[in-house]
Amino acid sequence: MPESDRFIGRLRRRLLLGDLLHVSAGWLAGFLIVFGSAVLAAKLFGPQFWPGVLWLGLLTIPMFAALAWRTSRRAPSDRETIALLDKRLGAGGLFMTLAERPDALWQQRLPGKEAWSAVLPRFRPTRFLKAIAVPALFAIGAGFIPAREVPPPGPRVTVGSSAAQELAEAFELLEKADALDEETKESLKQELDQLAQDAEEKPLTHEKWETVDALRERLQSGLDVAELTVSKGRNAAASLAAGLTGGEALSLERTEQLSQDLAEALETLRKNGALKSSTSEEFSRLPSELQQLLKSGQFKLPSDPAERQQALSNLQKLLESEAKRLAEARSKCQNCLAGQCRDGQCFGKGPGQNSPIARSEIPGKGGITRGRGDAEMSYGDESDEQAAKFKETVLPPGFLDRPSDSPVGVSASAPTVEPEAPSSRNAARETGSATGKATWDRPLRPRHREVVRGYFGDE
């Protein structure tokens, strides 16, 4: 029965396909709902996962493979397929009998090929499409919804990290200006790195903020000390040079003190690494012998007056150059002087204008014990009407506690002149107008008392 075997195989394959579509319709509908929900959630709540969430669609491959294996396990046997085909042909068991005992004469009694093709089930996936139509539309619609815009990824900026970054920038400025010695640089760098790490991991506690303030003070103090030392050395070099050129005569004690100040300034520059030809042009212009003495820390002025004068002139230029570098560093430092030194508007732009000694010569910059006080005053917010702490309040009309005290009218008349008698100077003074009672005991309307109390209360 070669022809009948072919129809048996076709019927069996169509039965398997129908069973697969019936089972997979529910599974595919559920998967489409889950897939559409995942796409929708990724676009609305997790845009960083879009379009990577579409890779979930590959899960349909193992799902259909599992369903196909399950359907093949439930496939009808050959006897069941033959029995079903015999029933659909209406052969009355003849086809089943011929399958077991073939006979050419009885084979001719079976229906023709047209009847065999007509009894095969047709492929109409209408139920399958109806089952997955709504879930498929939901998944497709979720794909067309625009994803929520996400700002470009960047470093997490917090108040603590911003403060640590400002301190690091100030440290770099002072390091380039050679305002700190090597030991201080290492210590500050370790503490700044630890502070930046702590600020990146979690918000800073009040102890860490105290560390921020301490580091800011150390940076400012280091710059102040460097400026003061350089300024003292420069003034000492100028005074020693003036004494050699016939200016003010210097005593032996004064000369030793100025020489010591100059030596301390040069030693500070050496420890800070400023005495390098790569960082200081003025240092490279010094004689080689003087350069070696400065680098070794064994500075000593020459005994010959001419050489001494030339050395002092060169050292004065060197210290002026270093003072200018420190002044430029202060003008760029955003954390110096509590953030008041911005855009190069600290104390001036000339060399030496930022040194602690030069500050005393600027009006209003020397404190209460030094310098002149004729600088332009800077008023607080209370002097500006827009920034005043107490805003002007328009009081509504009110009534006195005793309406009988209210003035009925004002009429023109001659004034009564009664000079007040002088009050006694003992403790028991009278409560007259001369004692000020007329001012502080004036009647106040009850409706206005709350407003006035706000100006004179404890808060």
* C-alpha dist (Å) from residue 230 to 45, 53, 218, 415: 60, 65, 18, 75
- Residue 351: pLDDT band with limits 50, 70, 90: very low
pLDDT score of 212 more than 60: yes
pLDDT score of 292 more than 80: no
- Residue 349: pLDDT band with limits 50, 70, 90: very low
Give the pLDDT of residue 383. 47
Please, what is the Cα angle at 84 between 78 and 89, to 5 degrees?
Answer: 125
- Residue 425, token pair as written in the block: 């100077």
Residue 145 near residue 42, CB atoms below 8 Å: no
pLDDT top residue among 94 and 217: 217
Give the pLDDT of residue 225. 82
pLDDT top residue among 156 and 323: 323
pLDDT top residue among 78 and 316: 316
For residues 253 and 261, what is the distance between their CA atoms, to the nearest angstrom?
A: 12
Kind and range of the H or E element at 359?
helix 356-359
**Domain residue ranges in the chain:** 2-144, 155-371
The secondary structure of 254-311 as a DSSP string is HHHHHHHHHHHHHHHHHHHT---TTT-HHHHTS-HHHHHHHHHT-----SSHHHHHHH
pLDDT score of 65 more than 60: yes
pLDDT score of 338 more than 50: no
For residues 421 and 429, what is the distance between their CA atoms, to the nearest angstrom?
A: 12
What is the four-CA torsion angle of 155, 160, 162, 166, rounded to 10 degrees? -130
pLDDT score of 343 more than 70: no
Give the pLDDT of residue 365. 46
* C-alpha dist (Å) from residue 140 to 156, 313, 441: 36, 85, 83
Give the pLDDT of residue 405. 61
pLDDT top residue among 191 and 423: 191
For residues 43 and 142, what is the distance between their CA atoms, to the nearest angstrom?
A: 9
Q: Which of 251, 291, 287 is closest to 270 using CA atoms?
A: 291
For residues 185 and 191, what is the distance between their CA atoms, to the nearest angstrom?
A: 10
pLDDT score of 304 more than 70: yes
Most confident of the following: 249-253, 324-328, 412-416, 443-447: 324-328
pLDDT top residue among 162 and 385: 162
* C-alpha dist (Å) from residue 301 to 230, 308, 319, 337: 17, 6, 15, 36
- Compute the mean pLDDT over every residue in the chain, rounded to the nearest whole number: 71
For residues 282 and 276, what is the distance between their CA atoms, to the nearest angstrom?
A: 10
Mean pLDDT, rounded, for 398-412: 62
Mean pLDDT, rounded, for 71-93: 72
Give the pLDDT of residue 353. 44
Residue 41, classed as helix, strand or coil, is helix
Mean pLDDT, rounded, for 385-395: 55
Residue 363 near residue 371, CB atoms below 8 Å: yes
Q: Is 6 left (phi over 0), alpha (psi -120 to 50) or beta?
A: alpha
Give the pLDDT of residue 320. 81
Give the pLDDT of residue 441. 57
> pTM, whole model, 2 decimals?
0.42
Burial of 10 (0-12, 13-18, 19+ CB in 10 A): middle
For helices 159-176 and 206-244, angle between their N-to-C axes, nearest 10 degrees: 20
Mean pLDDT, rounded, for 140-158: 73
pLDDT top residue among 440 and 13: 13
Long-range pairs for 281-286: beta carbons < 8 A, 24 or more residues apart: 281/321, 282/314, 282/317, 282/318, 282/320, 282/321, 283/318, 285/314, 285/317, 286/314, 286/315, 286/318
Give the pLDDT of residue 18. 78
Give the pLDDT of residue 421. 64
- Residue 153: pLDDT band with limits 50, 70, 90: low
173-183 pLDDT per residue, tens: 888 877 788 88
For residues 333 and 331, what is the distance between their CA atoms, to the nearest angstrom?
A: 6
Q: Which residue has the tokens 């301490």?
A: 214
